[in-house]
Chain A
Amino acid sequence: MNAPSQTLRKPFKANWLARLGWVGLAVYTLYALSALDITWTRFLTGLDNGAQFLDEMIPPSFMRWKLLLANLLETVEIAVISSAFGIALSLPIGLMSARNLMPAWATWPARALICVCRSFHPVIFAILFVKAVGFGPMAGILTLVFASIGFIGKLFAEAIEEISLKPVEACKAAGAPFMSVLIYAVLPQVLNRFIGFATYQFDANMRNSTMVGIVGAGGIGGTLFAAFQRFDYDFLCTILLSIIALIMISEYLAVRIKVVFND
Chain B
Amino acid sequence: MVNNQSNGNGGQAPRSLTINNLVKEYVSGKPVLKGISFEVTGRTTVGIIGPSGTGKSTLLRCINRLIEPSSGSIVVSGQEITSLSGRDLRLARHFIGMVFQEFNLVERLSVIENVLCGRLGFTPVWRAWLRKYPQQDIDQAFELIRKVGLEDFATVRADELSGGQRQRVGIARAVMQNPHIIMADEPTSSLDPKTSVEIMELLNDFSRDQNIPVLINIHDVDLAKRFTDRIIGMSDGRIIFDGPPDGLTDEHMKQIYGGEGWLT
Contacts and interface: CB of A to CB of B under 8 A. Distances in A.
A in complex with B: yes
A174 B106 contact: no
Interface string A170-205: 111111110111011100110100000000000000
B117 A170 contact: yes
A177 B105 contact: no
B148 to A, nearest CB: 16
B104 A166 contact: yes
A171 B177 CA distance: 11
B94 interface: yes
B98 A171 contact: no
Contacts of A50: none
Contacts of B90: 175-177
Interface string A246-259: 00000000000000
Nearest to A192: B108
Contact of B117 (A166, A171, A177, A179): A171
A184 B173 CA distance: 13
A170 B100 contact: yes
Interface in B98-143: 98, 100, 102-109, 113, 117-123, 125, 128-129
Q: How large is the interface on B (under 10, 10 to 19, 20 to 34, 35 or more residues)?
A: 20 to 34
A189 B104 CA distance: 13
A170 B128 contact: no
Contact of B104 (A170, A175, A183): A170
A174 to B, nearest CB: 5
A171 B108 contact: no
B98 A189 contact: no
Nearest to B176: A174
A169 interface: yes
A184 B96 contact: no
Contacts of A134: none
Nearest to A165: B104
B15 interface: no
A78 B18 CA distance: 63
Contacts of A175: 90-94, 120-122, 177
Nearest to A177: B125
B182 to A, nearest CB: 11
A167 interface: yes
Contacts of B122: 175
Contacts of A181: 120
B94 A184 contact: no
Interface in A116-173: 166-167, 169-173
A167 B118 CA distance: 12
Nearest to B87: A177
B66 interface: yes
B125 A183 contact: yes
A216 to B, nearest CB: 42
Nearest to A166: B104
A183 B117 CA distance: 11
B199 to A, nearest CB: 16
B106 A185 contact: yes
Contact of A180 (B98, B128, B174): B128
A29 B221 CA distance: 70
Nearest to B93: A175
B64 interface: yes
Interface string B176-196: 010000000000000000000
B120 A180 contact: yes
Nearest to A190: B108
A177 B120 contact: yes
A150 B130 CA distance: 30
A170 to B, nearest CB: 4
Given A180-B120, A183-B125, A184-B128, A174 B109 contact: no
A231 to B, nearest CB: 57
A172 B123 CA distance: 13
Given A170-B100, A174-B94, A189-B108, 17 more contacts: A167-B104, A167-B107, A170-B105, A170-B170, A171-B117, A173-B93, A174-B93, A174-B118, A177-B121, A179-B125, A180-B123, A183-B125, A183-B128, A184-B117, A184-B128, A185-B117, A188-B108
Interface of A: 166-167, 169-177, 179-181, 183-185, 188-189, 191
25 contacts: A167-B107, A169-B66, A169-B104, A170-B104, A170-B105, A170-B117, A171-B120, A172-B93, A173-B66, A173-B96, A174-B97, A174-B119, A174-B120, A174-B173, A175-B90, A176-B90, A177-B120, A180-B120, A180-B129, A184-B109, A185-B106, A188-B106, A188-B109, A189-B106, A189-B107
